[in-house]
Structure 1
Amino acid sequence: MRGFWWIPFIAASSLAQVQAQTAAPAPAGQQVVHRGLQVAPQLREHRNLEEEEMSVFLVGDDLSFDGEGKMVLKGGAQVRRIDSVVKGDRIEYDRDSGQVKVRGNGLMMRDASIVMGPEIDYNLNSETGEVTAPDFWLGSSGGAGTAERAEILSQQHMRLYDMRYSGCPCPDPAWYITSSRVDLKFDENEGVARNGVLYFKGVPILASPWLTFPITKDRKSGFLVPTYGMTSKSGVEFSLPYYFNLAPNYDFTLTPHYYSKRGLQLGGEFRYLGRGYSGIYSGAYLNNDKEADRKRWTYRLQHTHRLGGGFSAGFDVRRVSDDNYHRDFTALGLGEAQENSLPSHARLNWSGYKYFSAGLRVQTYQTLQDTDLGYYRRPEFDKLPELTFRGARYGWNNFDVVSENSVTKFRMPLRREMYRGVLYDLGRAGTTTRQAPDGTRFSSYTSIAYPIVKAGWYVTPKAGLHMSQYSTDWYKDELGPRYSSFDRTHTRVLPILSLDSGMTFERDTTLFGNDSIQTLEPRLYYLYVPYRDQSMMPVYDTSLATFNFAQAFDENIYSGGWDRIAEANQVTFGLTSRWLDADTGFERLSLSAAQRLYFNKQQRVTLSPGQVKEEDLVSKRSDYLVGVNAALTDNFSVRFDAQFNPETRDRNRMAAGIRWEPKRLASVSLSYRYERDPAQIADYRVEIDPENDRAKEYMTFSGQWPLSNKIYAMGRFDYSLQEKRNTQSILGFEYKGDCCWVARVVAQRYAVSAKDVNTAFFLQLELTGLGSLGTDPMGLLRERVIGYEPVTHDLPEKTTFERYE
């Protein structure tokens, strides 16, 4: 509401500085050029002008002086200055007292804000005045309102009585706020309303005896919009955040959060931003959870810092009080409820030279157990610490040289046991505490490649040398005789040779009657890695990689930290064909297929320490990989990806989906995902107990659809065919009001563990120009409902030239 400060429109410069300027028009077709002037590409504000530098222009049908310092303008009277305009049927100005009177159809404009009233009185000397029955329009926010009376108490303070305000630009606003008295303090960017009542459709829905709010979009301390909802895990929820604008570069939000089933939780978030650093500290604490009968808490500390000289540092620390914290307190969306491992790290990085970089990192994990699963999930290894060094130079005499080196100390946390719903570290009294060996790993991989790239084809030979050394604490007394024969130190040196090649062919064709360009892209990748016995080495952060189009052309079937490097003498064939629109290049259809052929007779490298696989390979061929993506029309598309066993023709993995989006706010998608038990993917001859089958099979339906021109439905349904249960359901409705408001209702039911579910129900009323009441479901809908679009459009930012004359 700073736009009320049109009053210095007449300012300290005397009205005697009346100027009238005329200019003869330029001849037709001739451009007027003023020496020293430049054409402005857009409207610009004139800043830093002193009052005496601004000329004042007077307009009126009649202008008179009484000889005693009083000037009167009648009939369409206007007083115009570069920063403001005042209009009225009659304007009187007393030069001695500084008093200005506007009578009849008074209007004042400044910074795109307008105030109108039948009578306006203002004193230039004391900077005080009064406006009778003002109507106002605010350029900064687009809001408008009326009042019985306005008092101008100083240049930075205005008071409105019996005000009615709305940020809705419609002729008949759907919402408005009334207040018996509002004080606007422009230097403090603060408005204070007494006895404020929010009306929606003429019905009062929110009232407060005292309310503060920012006048502009700048930040200001005060209460934020409350949120409310209901979940089956925590009951009725209500929160009322309070925002502290402590400084321009840091702030704090305090959020009391009430759960009817659990109690009162206190949360907070502190944010800061400095020259070269920033961070966010957040957390929540509940002293006594009535359901769990214990304290519940969570916190996260994030910081990044640029130290100069190519150095940077940071940390991200996450912790919760217990394994079920996110399952009990996650209100909307799966997100954190599905997290089973919370990583924390601190790092120091260096990249001060063109070809080299280094890093020092400490990383730990809090592993969250799901007691409904019936088994204990072993945590990941902590890295205490990890030192990395990388050198890379590309195009060095046509060679690409890359060297990646690391030294990591791994530590496995002690095993934990459950007591009163909480997992505790075990002591040594009669119980084994170790879960896996600890140790230090040095790893170095240096490779040299020589890419030969020509028009339509490429060949890339590559040679690398991987060196590793392990120093391992096997804890033979605690972990048992399994590791009795293992040496503390183990070294491995392996060459890795590969040859990657590909070609691209094109031809003009048609697809569905449209001119197209078809490509044919064959690819051939050969990999050779000799066998090394690695059975006496630990496994810290390595697992079997998922076989897909990217991994089929990779150097190792194992992913992670290279604790295992599989022997290889193999070639991978790949073929892709695409159909592109001839005019736009848009990809209408793509077909892909790949398979790997093995020349060696067996794969002896396994992930299990102490185990060597001596039997023949299950097959000389890898699984078939096939993929199809098709945009059959501009609004209908299908996709299909699958991995088939070449011996049995059974599927090992499959993903398929269709999507139809005929118009805005209307979309439907259906998808299917399947993955066989990992043991059967590795060897189809393995028999799996149906009760322990770890296969995954899901169906997902998602969509948004208009039920009328005002009501829209959206939702998602996930069903696990393997578990024979619904894992997530979302159903929501949006009602788009006539003007400036939208109502949303969203219900969600989702699995938080193997046997437990949570149900949440939320309402939201969005009032354009004011904000939203209730919990905001927009993040959930955008993330989970494929193709979701909000029914409202973002309003354009207002400018100071909104009502420019």
Structure 2
Amino acid sequence: MRKVSDIARIAGLLALLTGSALAATPALAQSGSAANPLAKKAEGKPGDKLLVEADELIYDNDKNTVTAKGNAELHYGPRTLQADRVRYDRGSSRVFAEGNVRLTDQDGAVVTGERMELTDDFKTGFIDSLRIQQSVQRRGETVRTRFSAPRAERIEGEQTRFDYGTYTACEPCKDNPEVPPLWQVRAAKIVHNNETHTVYFEESTLEIAGIPVAYLPYFEAPDPTVKRKSGFLTPRFITSTAVGTGASVPYFFNLAPDYDLTVSPAFLSRQGVLGQAEYRQRFDNGSLNLRLSGIFQTTPSAFLPGPLGAGDRDFRGSIESRGRFYINDRWRTGWDLVGVTDKWFLDNYRIRNQNITTDYFREAVSTAYLIGQGDRSWFEARGYYFKGLSSFDWQKEQPIVAPVIDYDKRINGPGEIGGEVRFEANITSLTREATDFQGLPRTSAYLFSPSVNGISYPLYETCSTFNQASCLIRGLAGTNTRASAMASWRRSFIDDAGQVFTPFTYLRADAFFTNPSLSGYQNALVPTIANVGEGFNGRVIPAVGLDYRYPFVSDFGPLGVHTIEPIAQIIARPSETRIGRLPNEDAQSLVFDDTSLFEWDKFSGYDRAEGGVRANLGGQYSVVTASGWYTNVMFGESIQVAGVNSFRRGDLANVGLESGLETRRSDFVGRFQVSPNQNISFISRARFDQADFKVNRFEAGVTARFAPFLPLTLSTFYSYYEAQPLLGFSHRREGVTASATYNITPNWFLTGSALVDLTHYLDTRDLYATALASYFANPTGTLPVYQNPGRFYLSGLSLGGGYQDECTTVSLNYIVSPIATALGTRERNQTVLLRVELKTLGEADLRQNVGTVTTNDGIASVR
């Protein structure tokens, strides 16, 4: 048997839905709650009927109305209306809601007000004291927007018009909701069109903390649900000596769901119109984009003439493209391409590209690739083109590398052999028009000249002919192709005492085809490389070895688990052949430290192959506690037992010399690492001279996060490298890099980073060597002088801070960065960068150079 209150609700719902004249009696006016049992049984199409539930239903046959009081909730299709009191006029089909009115739309938007007058489908009507909150996901975070107005009109559920309304993405203050938000747009009229997802503002003012800061008679913006919509984007302002003052006004064309076009003309007072267009398209299996930039300069003389600038060019431009395509779940292909009319264009016109590497020197890297990945295999084929973007770069020294093919496959050893079998292969071919060479300091014992006018400078040899004692060859002119393959096997055995024996063996073969070229030189220095073998050359290196480890483990309870592990490794193979008579392009970066001590081959690439019989000895000690404490200490050295020491005979780039491995007994290498907990980590590694234990290389760094006790995160890294004159480093290199972030409050923060050169002399050896070589080839004028910038040279600095919350991001940064100027000297570029983002409205960057710079890259002095 049903309760009386349930019968009252069913009767009330029937009366409201069908228009029946049922009298309400006091006995049926009961309190309680019940779900709507007719939601699925009502006649008609789903969503066509108005369904009601409330604590009390009152029927007035004379006025033909039904009133729902107390927790009233009305449903019409996907829309829901809630209020303290709802009156439905069946004659006019109007709904009148009062008290804590809340309307939830089909897209999840919540409309609140003190009073609403709506049609029975909730699509049209008037709202007093309106407030709308809408939540959307943008870039992985939830963004809530809010509209408010004393009165608004809702039209067909597609438009909402606000009279004297406000719009913001900021949350109201919990303690004092009447306080203005951080920012809001106040307008005489706001129209939100849900069909076009556009918000229109008339007679609008942008307020910051309640203070008007900007006035716009009219503007429009997509609502937060829109990810792509045609229209103007945030302008970008440009100012510099050479291009003048101007602004870029981007316009976005939403051509289709899968492709779009952005056109960004920039109007510059001194150079005319810079045209930019970017096309993007997505496919079922990938995406591509294409960006074109170009300008017919009206004042080319603002730039230096060639070869130091583009002052002799009327048209300048660039083309950039990126593609990513997935052939299937294992194979993908793509490209990153950059093409420019001249090396200064992108920098002169402030065009950013992710494929440009910027340190002390700038270059654009173009590549195309094909990659395949299996469960235990890897294939990659690439081609590279390097475009030097600094004034002193000589493009003829930059190689075109194509192809570079790598293949790596690992399988389980067959049968009783077991272990792991690995096959590696590499094919590299590159072409360079001019040899990239570098002069060395005249002697390793006397690096600097006597003081001249209070300044000393290093003396470098010239490279008129190739001599290993005076000249390095960083890259050979001509075409060089190499194919390498290596098959290896290894397996670990553990005996009853816990000793670990890992025998291994490998067979490596390399084939070189070298075709050096002595043509194409356009300067007075033409090195003769007589000892490089031309044509086909090859080498085969078989090897056998054993890796031995014997870990001693003790558990000291609260003091943690302590492990002492001696390590010994022996590798036997024939000596490396043809050292110095083969090109070395990919194995010039040789760092001997704890990470490479037990490598089978310590060279970084395929062009060199370590030979001879070598023993690597060392040990490590570690502690791990239950509280999270971790400590590790490692120490060892490498010994050349028999055969030719590959690191004692330098190749064309002297790789191996002064590496710590050139003597029979190598330098000592060590590592110390400690992490008291997961928030603090310290690591240091060093290389000590084998004869007197002098420090030849030292690195130390710490990363610390002090939260929740202190909202500070910092990291610092110190590096020291002893001079290596035979490798072109005439002086020691020493520096510190540090960065920190301090959260003053959950919203306010400070950041900073610095790169400090602690060396007396900046590393301008390449530039100075070229200047000296030119002088000795044609000794006119005065001898070039190596400038000493002094100790503690600030190479890079960034200081800033800002504010960030759910609706606003404001940051101000002061940046000091090195730049390569037209004369090849290093200056510091000082920039102030202000970035403001008002979520859902847009963002703007303002960048201004400050300070004095001698000259800008490729830019002439002011005329």
| Pairwise TM-score range, normalised by the shorter structure | 0.7 to 0.9
Q: Is the 8 A contact 2:650 2:657 kept in 1?
A: no
Question: Which secondary structure state, in structure 2, belongs to the residue aligned with residue 147 of structure 1?
Answer: strand
Residue 127 of structure 2 is matched in structure 1 by 131
For residues 277-316 of structure 1, the aligned pairs below 5 Å read 277-282=286-291, 284-288=293-297, 290-291=302-303, 293=311, 294=313, 296-308=316-328, 311-316=331-336
**Are 1:675 and 2:710 an aligned pair?**
no
In structure 2, relative to structure 1, the CA distance for the partners of 1:283 and 1:90 (3 Å cut) is same
Match of 2:800 in 1: 732
Contact 1:12 1:124 in 2 (8 A): no
Query: Post-superposition shift, 1:78?
Result: 2.4
* Alignment counterpart, residue 746 of structure 1, candidates 798, 804, 813: 813
Which 10-residue stretch deviates more, 637-646 or 10-19? 10-19
Tell which deviates more after alignment, 451-460 or 438-447: 451-460
1:342 equivalent in structure 2 = 364
Of 632, 635, 639, the residue aligned with 2:683 is 639
Equivalent in the alignment of 2:308:
none
Other structure's SS at 2:597 match:
helix
Given that 2:584 and 2:653 are in contact with CA atoms closer than 8 Å, whether structure 1 keeps it comes out as no
> 1:469 and 1:476 mapped to 2: Cα distance?
23
Alignment pair present for 1:220 and 2:238: no
What is the distance in 2 between the residues matched to 1:389 and 1:508? 43
Q: Which residue of 1 aligns with 2:54?
A: 59
- Summarize the Cα distance change of 1:146–1:758 in structure 2 as closer, same or farther, 3 Å threshold: same
How many angstroms does 1:199 deviate by?
0.7
**Following superposition of structure 1 onto structure 2, how do residues 391-790 of structure 1 map, counting pairs within 5 Å?**
391-397=409-415, 398-414=418-434, 436-452=477-493, 456-475=498-517, 482-483=529-530, 486-509=533-556, 515-534=559-578, 535-560=580-605, 562-581=606-625, 583-584=626-627, 586-600=628-642, 602-603=644-645, 606=649, 608=651, 619-632=663-676, 637-659=681-703, 661-663=705-707, 664-679=710-725, 693=730, 695-705=732-742, 712-722=749-759, 723=762, 724=790, 725-734=793-802, 743-753=810-820, 754-767=825-838, 772-774=843-845
Contact 1:747 1:762 in 2 (8 A): yes
The alpha carbon displacement at 1:543 in A equals 1.7
Moved more, 77-86 or 670-679: 77-86
Q: 1:394 touches 1:400 (CA, 8 Å); kept in 2?
A: yes
1:233, 1:758 within 8 Å by CA — same for their partners in 2? no
| Residue 596 (structure 1) shift | 0.6
Decide whether aligned partners of structure 1 residues 619 and 23 sit closer, same or farther in structure 2, where only a CA change above 3 A counts: farther
Pick one of 122, 125, 129 that aligns with 2:118.
122
Please tell me the residue identity of whatever aligns with 2:816. Answer: R
CA distance in structure 1 between the partners assigned to 2:275 and 2:539 by the alignment: 53
1:73 corresponds to 2:67: yes
SS of the residue aligned with 1:748? strand
State how far apart, in whole Å, the 1-side matches of 2:381 and 2:678 are.
Answer: 49
Residues 143, 165 of structure 1: 8 Å contact kept:
yes
SS at match of 1:716: strand
Secondary structure of the residue aligned to 1:543 is coil
1:273 and 2:282 correspond: yes
Q: Structure 2, unaligned stretches of length 5 or more?
A: 1-12, 34-43, 137-142, 305-310, 437-474, 521-525, 763-789, 849-863
1:516 Cα deviation from its structure 2 partner: 1.8
Q: Which residue of 2 aligns with 1:165?
A: 167
- Kindly tell me the number of residue pairs found equivalent between the two proteins: 708
SS at match of 1:187: coil
Q: In structure 1, what is the equivalent of residue 443 of structure 2?
A: none
Distance (Å, rounded) in 2 between the aligned partners of 1:619 and 1:144: 73
C-alpha deviation, 1:236, in angstroms: 7.3
Question: Which segment drifts farther, 642-651 or 341-350?
Answer: 341-350
Q: Is the 8 A contact 2:275 2:293 kept in 1?
A: yes
Residues 318/195 of structure 1: CA separation in 2 closer, same or farther (3 Å cut): same
Give the Cα separation in 2 of the matches to 1:246 and 1:625: 60
- Equivalent in the alignment of 1:381: 399
Residues in 2 aligned to 1:56 and 1:594: alpha-carbon distance in whole angstroms: 81
Displacement of 1:319 in angstroms is: 3.5
Distance 1:56 1:205, change over 3 A: same
Cross-structure match for 2:195: 187
Distance 1:485 1:238, change over 3 A: closer
Give the whole-Å Cα distance in 1 for the aligned partners of 2:637 and 2:666.
6
Tell whether the 8 Å contact from 1:262 to 1:291 is kept in structure 2 after alignment: no
What secondary structure does 1:545 align onto? coil
Q: Secondary structure at the match of 1:56?
A: strand
Q: Is the 8 A contact 2:615 2:638 kept in 1?
A: yes
Per-residue CA shift, 1:216-244, capped at 9, x if unaligned?
A: 25433334445569889988786554444
* Secondary structure of 2:588's aligned partner: strand
CA distance in 2, matches of 1:63, 1:12: 11
Deviations 1:146-170 (A, max 9, x none): 2243223323233222211222222
Question: Alpha-carbon deviation of 1:469?
Answer: 1.9
- Report % sequence identity: 19
Letter in 2 for 1:72: V
**Contact kept in structure 1, 2:54 and 2:72, CA below 8 Å:** yes
Give 1:126 shift.
10
Higher alpha-carbon deviation: 619-628 or 333-342 = 333-342
Q: Secondary structure at the match of 2:155?
A: strand
TM-score (normalizing by structure 2):
0.71
Q: How big is each residue's C-alpha offset from its partner over 1:573-626, in whole Å with a ceiling of 9 and x where there is no partner?
A: 122212212x25x34322111211111364367453599999999532111112
